[in-house]
Structure 1
Amino acid sequence: MRAIVLLCALLGLSMLVSVNGKILFHEDFSSLDKWVQSKERDDYGKVELSAGKNEPEGSSNKKGLRLTEDARFYAISTEFPTPISNENKELVFSFVVKHEQDLKCGGAYLKYLPAMDPTKFNGESKYWLMFGPDRCGSKNKVHIILHYNGVNHEWSKNFRYPEDSITHAYTLRIAPDNSYSFYLDGQERMKGTLEEDWSLLPAKEIADPSDVKPADWVDEPTIVDPNDVKPADWDNEPAMIPDTEAKRPDDWDDAEDGEWEAPMVPNPNAKGEWHPKRIPNPAYKGEWAPRMIPNPEYKEDKELYKVREPLAHVGIDVWQVESGSIFRDIIIGDDVNEVLEMVKKTVEEERKKEEAEKEKKEADAKKEEEKKEGEKKEADEDKGDL
C-alpha cells in the first residue's frame, strides 16, 4: 500500500513538473534590472519602463520596455535563467508589442540568440530566430528569419502587421515534425513547413544540364494561316490624303510662296500593311523545358526545427525613426495551448478596452467634423441671405 501511495505521489510530482515546465521563460517587465545595454556604440537609443502614454481608462497599466528616442538604433538584451533547447519538442515564442506612435519606419522584432557577451550585442550578432513586425514606408511585414547552416533565411510568406496603436500579440510555434504556425492575437493566421516556406535546403530536383531540346521540337504556338489571302481592294486607299478642312491662308502669295497645297493627313479609310491572320500551330508541342533530376546537393534534414546551440538570450536590435513602441510579456514555452492561454489572459481584455477607446475617439472625431461642416453651411447660408 505504501508503495502504491509513493508511486502515485511520484506520478503526481512528475505531472506537476511537466505542467510547470511548459512555460520556459516569461519576461513580465516588473523591472529592467536584468536587461543589459550593449556598449558596441555610444549613441544607442534610451529605453524606459512604461505602461504607455495613451492607456485607456480601466486598462491593466502593465508596464513594458519602451523605446524613447527618435531616429536611433537600439541594442539591449536579457539572459534566460536556463538555456533553452528543443530536441523532440515544440518551441513557442510569443511577445506583445504596441505602437503608440505613428510608426512609418522602424522595427519591433525580437532576436533569440545563443550564449554571447550582451555588452557586444549588435546587428552582426549570431541569432537563431528573428521574429516580429517591421516597417519602412510601404514595406510592412512580419519577419520570421531562421539561422541554418551559417545563413539567415527569410520567411517566404508576406504577412502585413496591423498598422494601428492597439496592443498585439505575436506568437510562433515551431514543431519537431518541421511544421510551424504563426498566430496574431491568439488566432492562427499562417501555417506550413520549414522546408517549403524557407530556403533552408537546396531544391529536391534540378534541371538536367545534359538534357538538350530536340532539333524537331516545335515551340511556336501559332503559325500564319496559309489559306488567308489579302483582299483585292486592300490597297485601294492611299495612306495619306489632303486635309479637306485645311484653308489657304489669307496672306498666301503664289508668286512668292508657290502654289498652295493642302497639308496631307492620315487617310482614315486606309487599311495599312496587310498581314495574314495567325492560327493555332497543329505541330506545337508546348514550351520545352529540360527534364528534372534528383539534386545531388539535396540532403533531407528531419531536424530543421532543432536549435543547434541552446538559446541563452533574447534581445531587441532595431532601428526606429519614430520611437514609442512598447514590448511586453515575452514568453517562451513548449506547449502552444499553454502559451496561447497566457496570451489570452495578458492581452484579450486590454485589446477590447483599447478597441472600444479607439471607436469612441473615431466617433467623437466624426461628430466634431459634422459639427464643423454644419456650422460652415450655416455661415454660408447667412452670407447668401445678406
Structure 2
Amino acid sequence: MAAVHVPLWAVCVLRVALATVYFQEEFLDGERWRNRWVQSTNDSQFGHFRLSSGKFYGHKEKDKGLQTTQNGRFYAISARFKPFSNKGKTLVIQYTVKHEQKMDCGGGYIKVFPADVDQKNLSGKSQYYIMFGPDICGFDIKKVHVILHFKNQYHSNKKPIRCKVDGFTHLYTLILRPDLTYEVKIDGQAIESGSIEYDWNLTSLKKMEKSLAESKDWEQDEEDKPQDWEKHFLDASANKPSDWNSELDGDWQAPMLQKPPYQDGLKPEGIDKDVWLHQKMKNTNYLTEYDLSEFENIGAIGLELWQVRSGTIFDNFLITDSEEYAENFGKATWGETKGPEREMDDIQAKEEVKKAHEEDEKELLMGNFDGKESNFKRFHRRNEL
C-alpha cells in the first residue's frame, strides 16, 4: 500500500481540534459576566471590578475585560469551571493584562485554585495551585511570578523574569509540560524556559535511594529503629526569598527534606542524628516520584491582589492542554487588537500635546502664566509616572 502523505497544515488543524479547553473567558456578552464570576465578600473593603476596554483600545468590544476601579485596595474575584487533573498532560495558562494607569505598585497576576476553594471568602489566605503574572512595585520589583504549590508549600521560580512595565496590553503565557519542563511567554515570545525541578529549587525533594550514615547516638548493638526517627526534617539552609510577600503569596515555609529509609546495621560513628550524608547516585526514577507539575483538582481561576493605583484590565483568560490552541487564541485576540490599540494611544497623545500647547498659549496671552508649571510639562510628567 502506498504511503499517505498528510499536509502539515492538516496535522496542525487536527491537533488544535483535539485540544481540551478547560476555561475560556473573553467577556463578549456584556454584564452577564457577573453570573460567572464571584466577588469575594471576605472583606468589605475589597475593591470592585467593572467591565471596560479602557481609555484607549484596539477594539472597543473585544478589548473589554475586568478593570480594577478603586485605589489602594485588595481585590478578590474568581470563576469556577469543571474540575480536572493535568496528570500526564500539558497545562497552558494564558491571559492579557493592561496597566494603562502606568502601574507604580500592584499586582497583575492571576491564581489557579483547587475546585473546593471558597469563592465568597476568597482572600490572600486561600490556598492556590499556581500564581502567575507580573508584579510591579517601585524601581526594584518588576517581575513575573511563577509560584507552584507543592507538598503543602509554595515554591517560587529562581530565575528572574522581567515583566512589561508600559501601559499597553500584553499577553502572558505559562506552559507546564508532563516531562517537567516549562516555558514562559510574553506577547507570544519565549522569555524563559527550563526544568521545573531545578528552576524551582526542588532538587532537595528527590527520592533518596541509599544512606551512608545514621546517628552517632545509637548503640552498635541496637536492633530496633529509634523512636525519634522522623521521615522528614526542615531544610535549615533554606531562606525566604527577599521579595516574598506573605499577604500576597501566602505564608512561606522552609522546604522539607526527606530522610532515607532506616537501615539497621548501618551506623557509622561520629555523625549527628540531625545531619545526614547521602551517596550521590544517578537515579532515573525519582522524577515520577513527586509529580512536580501535577495538580489533581484544578477548578477555579481568579484575581487576588493589591493595587495602589487602579485601572488594570484583565482579559482573554484561557486554560487548556494545547500549546497550539493557546497560540492561535492569542493571535485571534491580542494579536488582532495590539496594533490598533497603540495607534489609538498615539492619536490621543498627539491630541493631548496639542491641547496642552494651546492652553499654555492662552495662559500666556491672558498674563496668567507667571509662577505656573506649563500644561505641556504637566502632560509629560503625568505620562512618565
Q: TM-score per shorter chain, which class?
A: 0.5 to 0.7
| Alignment equivalent of 2:43, drawn from 41, 44, 47 | 41
TM-score, with length taken from structure 1: 0.64
**Equivalent residue number for residue 74 of structure 1:** 75
Quote the Cα distance in structure 2 between the aligned partners of 1:168 and 1:352: 12
Q: Secondary structure at the match of 1:294?
A: coil
Question: Mind listing any 5+ residue stretches in structure 2 that lack a counterpart?
Answer: 1-12, 215-276, 362-385
| Deviation (angstroms), 1:59 | 5.0
Quote the Cα distance in structure 2 between the aligned partners of 1:53 and 1:119: 31
TM-score, with length taken from structure 2: 0.64
Q: Secondary structure at the match of 2:34?
A: coil
Whether the 8 Å contact between 1:128 and 1:307 is mirrored in structure 2 is no
The reply to whether residue 349 of structure 1 matches residue 350 of structure 2 is no
| Alignment equivalent of 1:316, drawn from 289, 293, 303 | 303
Q: Secondary structure at the match of 2:165?
A: coil
Percent identity, aligned pairs only, is 35
Whether the 8 Å contact between 1:55 and 1:61 is mirrored in structure 2 is no
Quote the Cα distance in structure 1 between the aligned partners of 2:304 and 2:156: 17
**Equivalent residue number for residue 107 of structure 1:** 107
Greater Cα shift, 22-31 or 337-346: 22-31
**Equivalent residue number for residue 26 of structure 1:** 24
Quote the Cα distance in structure 2 between the aligned partners of 1:38 and 1:299: 43
**Equivalent residue number for residue 84 of structure 2:** 84
Whether the 8 Å contact between 1:32 and 1:65 is mirrored in structure 2 is no
| Deviation (angstroms), 1:337 | 1.2
Q: Secondary structure at the match of 1:48?
A: strand
Quote the Cα distance in structure 2 between the aligned partners of 1:143 and 1:134: 7
**Equivalent residue number for residue 269 of structure 2:** none
**Equivalent residue number for residue 165 of structure 1:** 167
**What do the CA deviations read for 1:25-44 (whole angstroms, capped 9, x no partner)?**
10122322211111211110
| Deviation (angstroms), 1:60 | 4.8
Quote the Cα distance in structure 1 between the aligned partners of 2:360 and 2:34: 49
Quote the Cα distance in structure 2 between the aligned partners of 1:78 and 1:203: 33
**Residues 190 and 306 (structure 1 numbering): CA distance in 2 closer, same or farther, change over 3 Å?**
closer
**How many residues get paired?**
276
Quote the Cα distance in structure 1 between the aligned partners of 2:344 and 2:177: 38
**Residues 133 and 295 (structure 1 numbering): CA distance in 2 closer, same or farther, change over 3 Å?**
farther
**Residues 313 and 132 (structure 1 numbering): CA distance in 2 closer, same or farther, change over 3 Å?**
same
Quote the Cα distance in structure 2 between the aligned partners of 1:365 and 1:47: 28
Whether the 8 Å contact between 1:75 and 1:318 is mirrored in structure 2 is yes
Q: Secondary structure at the match of 1:32?
A: helix
Quote the Cα distance in structure 2 between the aligned partners of 1:55 and 1:358: 8
Larger radius of gyration: 1
**Residues 116 and 368 (structure 1 numbering): CA distance in 2 closer, same or farther, change over 3 Å?**
closer
Whether the 8 Å contact between 2:85 and 2:298 is mirrored in structure 1 is yes
The reply to whether residue 331 of structure 1 matches residue 323 of structure 2 is no
Q: Secondary structure at the match of 1:92?
A: strand
**What do the CA deviations read for 1:280-329 (whole angstroms, capped 9, x no partner)?**
xxxxxxxxxxx995399x99333534433310111110000000111111
Quote the Cα distance in structure 2 between the aligned partners of 1:174 and 1:326: 25
Quote the Cα distance in structure 2 between the aligned partners of 1:196 and 1:95: 26
Quote the Cα distance in structure 1 between the aligned partners of 2:16 and 2:343: 39
Whether the 8 Å contact between 2:144 and 2:162 is mirrored in structure 1 is yes
**Equivalent residue number for residue 233 of structure 1:** none
Whether the 8 Å contact between 1:175 and 1:305 is mirrored in structure 2 is no
CA RMSD, Structure 1 to Structure 2 (Å): 3.4
Question: Mind listing any 5+ residue stretches in structure 1 that lack a counterpart?
Answer: 1-14, 211-290, 375-386
Write the letter of the residue equivalent to 1:178. Answer: L
Write the letter of the residue equivalent to 1:51. Answer: S
Q: Secondary structure at the match of 1:152?
A: strand
| Alignment equivalent of 2:280, drawn from 280, 283, 294 | 294
**Residues 18 and 187 (structure 1 numbering): CA distance in 2 closer, same or farther, change over 3 Å?**
closer
